[in-house]
């Protein structure tokens, strides 16, 4: 029952994140009722139920029948699974120390929500907002003193912890510099600095491996598709970095145990 509750909480947060992604850098407030982007019709409460409304409406606006982007249910479902995964990861802490669980869960829920916004925004606009990367990096740096993948505790990070961000950000920066942005964007390097502090060196390198392999697979599929249909498209790397981060964190992935 608790697992289902946290899954539903993730769906709700995912619904809000869709609003943030849609309105970020547009000058619009994140508050206020949502509406159809085509006919501007304000949505009723029963059209805003995460996942269920999309399925019930057949993926179309009730008023103008315009197709609703799959971004909405996919973000909601992804956040539901992440929130559920976070609970399963820290459930022992939940029963042992509820207060410590609340701090830990709250911190990681915020961090993965930021990563979801960054990933989807990069996917839509081919850019990672500096502000979001800086906020994530700052929270990741502070989090080194209070949190780990095993839970909440106050400690002084060692030299490896401090250097974990640079260990990934510097190579990514070199990729950007040497290729003049053709291989990788500078925004990926900025994001990876915070990801290194967030995961630690071992899990971060594991996450990067997952990111490159998943990116390569998707890239090959898109290349095959473009040859068949004459389409060209850039592939943003942030979504793969975030995917690798989620996998490495939730499953304690240590491909390079040191």
| Whole-angstrom distance, CA of residue 258 vs CA of residue 256 | 6
Give residue-wise pLDDT tens across range 135-153: 999 999 999 999 877 766 6
Phi, psi of 152 (to 5 degrees): -105, 130
**Domain end point (choices 89, 107, 136):** 89
Give residue-wise pLDDT tens across range 73-119: 999 999 999 999 999 999 998 888 889 899 999 999 999 999 999 99
DSSP code of residue 49: S
User: Could you tell me if 169 and 190 are in contact, meaning their C-beta atoms sit under 8 angstroms apart?
Assistant: yes
Model confidence band, residue 258 (pLDDT cutoffs 50, 70, 90): low
- Counts of helices then strands in the chain (DSSP H, E): 10, 2
Q: Is there a single domain that holds both residue 108 and residue 78? A: no
| Whole-angstrom distance, CA of residue 54 vs CA of residue 216 | 31
Residue 22 lies in domain:
1-89
Q: Is there a single domain that holds both residue 110 and residue 154? A: yes
Q: Is the pLDDT of residue 3 over 90?
A: yes
Q: Report how many domains make up the chain.
A: 2
Model confidence band, residue 196 (pLDDT cutoffs 50, 70, 90): very high
Collapsing DSSP to helix, strand or coil, 68 comes out as coil
**Residue 226 in tokens:** 């473009």
Q: Is there a single domain that holds both residue 120 and residue 231? A: yes
Collapsing DSSP to helix, strand or coil, 26 comes out as coil
**Domain end point (choices 89, 108, 143):** 89
């Amino acid at each position: 029952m608790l697992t289902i509750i946290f899954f539903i909480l993730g769906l709700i947060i995912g619904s809000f994140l869709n609003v943030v992604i849609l309105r970020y850098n547009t000058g619009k407030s994140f508050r206020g009722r949502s509406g159809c982007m085509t006919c501007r019709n304000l949505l009723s409460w029963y059209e805003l139920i995460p996942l269920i409304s999309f399925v019930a409406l057949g993926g179309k606006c009730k008023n103008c029948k315009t197709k609703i982007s799959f971004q909405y249910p996919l973000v909601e479902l992804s956040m539901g699974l992440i929130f559920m995964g976070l609970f399963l990861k820290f459930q022992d802490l939940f029963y042992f120390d509820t207060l410590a669980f609340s701090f830990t869960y709250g911190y990681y829920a915020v961090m993965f929500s930021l990563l979801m916004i960054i990933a989807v925004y990069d996917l839509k606009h081919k850019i990672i907002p500096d502000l979001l990367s800086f906020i994530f990096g700052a929270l990741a740096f502070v989090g080194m003193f209070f949190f780990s993948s095993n839970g909440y505790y106050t400690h002084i990070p060692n030299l490896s912890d401090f250097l974990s961000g640079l260990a990934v950000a510097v190579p990514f920066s070199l990729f950007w510099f040497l290729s003049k942005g053709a291989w990788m964007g500078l925004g990926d390097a900025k994001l990876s600095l915070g990801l290194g502090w967030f995961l630690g060196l071992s899990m971060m390198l594991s996450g990067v491996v997952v990111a490159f392999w998943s990116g390569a697979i998707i890239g090959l599929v898109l290349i095959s598709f473009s040859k068949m249909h004459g389409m060209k498209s850039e592939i943003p790397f942030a979504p793969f970095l975030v995917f690798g981060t989620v996998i490495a964190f939730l499953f304690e992935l240590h491909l390079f145990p040191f």
